[in-house]
């Protein structure tokens, strides 16, 4: 059985239809890249899967682990193993990163019928997680994302992913705003978290990240639909020829649809 199956998914924000019929199936153990020009609906897809109420699903279905994902609250999705690494991580002033991470981790443990972990155990648990994204323990005492640099925010997202150990991770433009060293650290973290029983959807505008996180499949989103899919070579081809190649060339869509 596939981990997630998206069928003919339509979504709007305000009056504007952004997703116009997405079909995508992801199995455990796979890495999928979703690429596309600005405004093609990549981030909307990520937000809709995580349950952001700012977007309204107007048609289609999403089955996750045999369940109707669209009927679940965002927190239920998170508790059942969906993780969205935000393109723009949100600041929560006055709440320490450690407190936030432990609260989130405990909610997910509770959802699995496990006992809550106390602060001391959690500190031990965090040591290896921090190493994974090359972060200093002092980051844990700072307020969530407040005053973090762009790179720190993205690393903090991957740190959360390491702590919450999702079954389906969705990385929304995790590479944006990262210099090459930070990019490598973030990608290394993601690769180390890869397991046969989990899957990753990497949403990105640029091919660059895919040098580090190598996808099994690449999908190109144009104007709210997947215009074409292929293996990792497709990403290189896109890099070479630009998105115009998809929108004009092999796509059945009208020109200039981006």
Partner 1 sequence: MSSSIESLISREYQHGFVTDIESDTMPAGLSEDVVRAISAKKGEPAFMVEWRLKAYRRWLSMKEPHWPNVHYGPIDYQATSYYSAPKTKKPLGSIDEVDPELLKTYAKLGIPLYEQKMLAGVAVDAIFDSVSVGTTMRSELAKHGIIFCSFGEALREHPDIVEKYLGSVVPYSDNFFAALNSAVFSDGSFVYVPKGVRCPIELSTYFRINSADTGQFERTLIVADEGSYVSYLEGCTAPKRSTNQLHAAVVELVALKGATIKYSTVQNWYAGDKEGRGGIYNFVTKRGKAAENAKISWTQVETGSAITWKYPSVILQGDNSVGEFYSVAVVNNKQQADTGTKMIHIGRNTKSTIVSKGISAGEGNNSYRGRVQVLPRATGARNYTQCDSMLVGNRCGAHTFPYIEVGNNSAIVEHEASTSKIGEDQIFYLKARGLSAEQAVSMIVSGFCKEVFKELPMEFALEAQALLGITLEGSVG
List contacts with partner 1 (CB under 8 A).
50-54, 73-75, 77-79, 83-84, 86, 89-95, 99-100, 103-104, 107-108, 111, 143-144, 160, 164
Q: Report the nearest approach of partner 1 to the CB of residue 143 (Å).
A: 7
Q: How far is Cα of residue 193 from the mean position of the Cα atoms in its chain? A: 13
CB of 107 to partner 1, least distance (A): 4
Distances (CA, A) of 43 to 25, 47, 63, 132, 238: 17, 6, 19, 26, 19
Structure tokens at 29: 């153990």
Structure tokens, 173: 């433009």
Alpha-carbon distances, residue 164 vs 30, 100, 159, 228, 244 (angstroms): 19, 12, 9, 32, 38
Contact between 36 and 220 under an 8 Å Cβ cutoff? The reply is: yes
Interatomic CA distance for residues 116 and 114, integer angstroms: 7
In angstroms, give the least distance from the CB of 193 to partner 1.
16
CB of 161 to partner 1, least distance (A): 10
CB of residue 240 vs partner 1: minimum separation in angstroms? Answer: 35
Smallest separation, CB 236 to partner 1 (Å): 32
Order of strands across the sheet that contains 4-13: 16-26, 4-13, 56-64, 67-68
SS3 assignment, position 110: helix
Nearer to partner 1, 169 or 234 (CB): 169
Q: Write out the two tokens for 85.
A: 């690494």
Token pair for residue 72? 């679940």
Q: Measured from the CB of residue 99, what is the shortest distance to partner 1 in angstroms?
A: 8
Closest CA to 209 of 184, 229, 234, 191: 184
Would you state the structure tokens that stand for residue 166, as one six-digit string?
A: 């999702």
């Amino acid at each position: 059985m596939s981990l997630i199956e998206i069928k003919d998914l339509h979504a709007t924000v305000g009056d504007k239809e952004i997703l116009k019929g997405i079909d995508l199936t992801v199995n455990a153990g796979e890495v999928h890249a979703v690429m596309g020009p600005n405004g093609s609906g990549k981030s909307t897809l990520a937000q809709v899967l995580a349950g952001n109420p700012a977007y309204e699903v107007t048609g289609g279905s999403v089955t996750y682990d045999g369940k109707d994902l669209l009927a679940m609250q965002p927190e239920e999705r998170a508790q059942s193993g969906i993780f969205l690494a935000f393109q723009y991580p949100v600041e929560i002033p006055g709440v320490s990163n450690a407190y936030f991470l432990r609260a989130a981790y405990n909610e997910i443990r509770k959802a699995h019928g496990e006992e809550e972990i106390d602060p001391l155990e959690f500190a031990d648990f965090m040591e290896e997680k921090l190493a994974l994204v090359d972060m200093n323990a002092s980051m844990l005492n700072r307020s969530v994302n407040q005053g973090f640099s762009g790179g720190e925010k993205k690393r903090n997202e991957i740190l959360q992913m390491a702590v919450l150990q999702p079954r389906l991770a969705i990385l929304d433009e995790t590479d944006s705003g990262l210099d090459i060293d930070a990019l490598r650290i973030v990608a290394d973290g993601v690769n180390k978290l890869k397991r046969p029983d989990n899957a990753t959807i990497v949403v990105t505008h640029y091919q660059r990240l895919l040098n580090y996180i190598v996808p099994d499949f690449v999908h190109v989103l144009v104007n709210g639909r997947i215009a074409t899919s292929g293996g990792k070579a497709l990403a290189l081809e896109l890099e070479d020829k630009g998105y115009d190649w998809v929108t004009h060339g092999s796509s059945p869509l009208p020109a200039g649809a981006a």
